[in-house]
Every structure is written in structure tokens, then in C-alpha cells.
Amino acid sequence: MSSAPGDIVRFDNVGLRYGTDREVLSDVSFTLYPGSFYFLTGASGAGKTSLLKLLYLAQRPSRGVVSMFGTDTVTLPRSRLPGFRRRIGVVFQDFRLVPHLSAYDNVALPLRVSGVREDDLHMPVSDMLDWVGLSERAQARPASLSGGEQQRVAIARAVIGRPELLVADEPTGNVDPEMALKLLRLFDSLNRLGTTVVVATHDVHLLRKVPESLIMRLDKGRLSDPTGALRYPPRREPVPGSQAVP
């Protein structure tokens, strides 16, 4: 099934079950439009992480169609998936930094995987570390970083490759409210540069902090559209000079 050229992600009647258990996600259908900012909310255990796993291609659905960047990824051969993954930035709930690599090397990892030359790599990685306020800790290993610092390394790594889609799983879960707000602003400014952002959170207070955000609510594996915004999204104007949105 092909999707309209305007959307970046499209789920059609997606169901997911682990093994032979009951379905963790049922009849999930939605479309993500480029340049929008989405919150994915729901109680703990509602299936937020599971839905994000489908989004960042760590999991195939048990049924239904998951279409990314206009391509049905369910029938796509395994060998074509890495190319799609490189267009997606992920902030994992548990950060998943590589323990024996410095903050610098962790942030550089996506670029190295993509085959960027070492000469072309130094500037963007340093800039990115500077941006998340970690220039001083560039050579530190994750174990010697605080939770908030690890969080920022994880975010820097997720956005360094300038992904078209940014997926963050409870990115404010381990930090104080002040840091949570800072991180949200960070996602917001990325979003204004054209990146489509999906942030999963069970913290409803967060939703109000990004005024133009759209809300997807999961309840026991079923998606509701409380604001109707998933069907009729208000368009958001990108900042001039930012990434062009097709």
C-alpha cells in the first residue's frame, strides 16, 4: 500500500503482539505529517514504547501496514531497512549509549555508520556537543556522566544526522522539571527546522509546554485522537532558512 506524498509515517490497522500473548497494540491507524510535533501519551503499559519501536523499525507489526517515507516497510527486505533507519533519530528511554565510547564518539557514531569521513565529522560533532552544553565533557565516558548529561548525549546522537523523523521515548523521565523544559525546547527548535518529532510521555503537564503540538493518546493498545488533530492537522510554518519540507 502506498501513502500520499505528503506524509512521513502512515499506520493502517496495525496490530502488534509479542509471541502468543494478547495484542499490545490493536487497530492503530494514523498519519504523521512532515514538520509536525506529536506527543504520544498514555498510562504506563499502554503500549507507547511498542508503538515507537514500530516507528524506528526495531519491530515488525503482527498485522497491518507500517509505511515510512512513502514505502511500506513491512514487506521491505531486511537489507533495505538500514537506509530507512538512518533517516530516523531515536532517543531511547534508557539512552543506550555505547559504554566504552566517549560522549564525543557516541555522538559521532551515526555519522561514522553512515560513512562520513573523519575530516568532515569533527565540526558537526563539536558543534552539537556545544549546543547541548557538553563541550567540556566531550571525552567523558557515559558512566561518568550524570543522568541529565547522558540524556543530552543521547539527544545529540539522535539529531546529529539531521533525521527527517525524531522519536523520543520518555525523554524527560529521568531529569528534573527544569531540564525537562530545556530538552523540550530543544526538540521544539529542531522541529522548527523541519524535523517531524514524536515524543512519548506519560507526563500530561508536558503537553502544554509545546503549544502547537498534536496529541496521540494510547489506551490499552488502542489509539484515540482526542483533539481530532491527527485527522486534520494544523500546518506549522517552518522557520525561514531551515530544512525545506516537501
Partner 1 sequence: MRKPPLPAKGAVTGNKRFRGTRAAQLVPDARLAGPMPWVIAIMIALTVIAAAGGLALSNLVSDARADLAGGVTVQIVEASAPERDAQVRRAARVLEQDSAVRAVRIVPEAELEALLEPWLGAGVQNEAVPMPALIDLRLRGSADAATLQRLRGKLREVAPAARLDAQSAWLGPVFSAITSLLWLAAALVVLLAVTSAAAVWLAARSALGGNRPTIEIVHLLGGTDSQIARIFQRSVAFDAMLGGAVGLLLGLAAILLLGQQFARVDSGMVAGGGLHWQDWLLLAAVPLCGVGIAVLTARLTILAALRRML
Ligand X SMILES: Nc1ncnc2c1ncn2[C@@H]1O[C@H](COP(=O)(O)OP(=O)(O)O)[C@@H](O)[C@H]1O
Instruction: Kindly list the residues in this chain that would bind partner 1 in the complex (CB under 8 A).
Output: 56-60, 78-79, 81-87, 90, 96-101, 105, 109-116, 118, 120, 124, 127-128, 130-131, 157, 159-163, 182, 185-186, 189-190, 193, 243
Give SS3 for 55: helix
Beta carbon nearer to partner 1, 100 or 235: 100
Is residue 153 a contact partner of residue 132, using CB atoms and an 8 Å limit?
Answer: yes
Is residue 143 a contact partner of residue 99, using CB atoms and an 8 Å limit?
Answer: yes
Q: Work out which of 24, 111, 165, 214 binds ligand X, going by CB under 6 A.
A: 24
The helix/strand count (H/E) of the chain reads as 7, 10
**CB 56 to ligand X: min, Å:** 13
Q: Work out which of 8, 9, 32, 46 binds ligand X, going by CB under 6 A.
A: 46
DSSP 200-220: E-S-HHHHTTSTT-EEEEEET
Tell me, residue by residue from 34 to 53, as one string, x for binding to Mg ion by CB under 5 A and - for no binding: ---------------x----
Stretch that binds ligand X, among 47-55, 66-74, 160-168, 178-186 (CB under 6 A): 47-55
* Rounded (10°) angle between helices 103-113 and 147-159: 20
Which grid coordinates belong to 22? 494478547
Which grid coordinates belong to 53? 519501536
Alpha helices in 40-113 (DSSP H): 48-55, 81-85, 103-113
Beta carbon nearer to partner 1, 156 or 230: 156
By the rule CB under 5 A, 67 interacts with Mg ion: no
**CB 199 to ligand X: min, Å:** 13
Beta carbon nearer to ligand X, 24 or 128: 24
CB-neighbour burial class of residue 243 (10 A; exposed 0-12, middle 13-18, buried 19+):
middle
Q: Which of ligand X, Mg ion, partner 1, none does residue 58 bind (CB under 5 to 8 Å by kind)?
A: partner 1
Residues that bind ligand X (CB under 6 A): 18, 24, 42, 44-50
Residues of this chain that bind Mg ion (CB under 5 A): 49
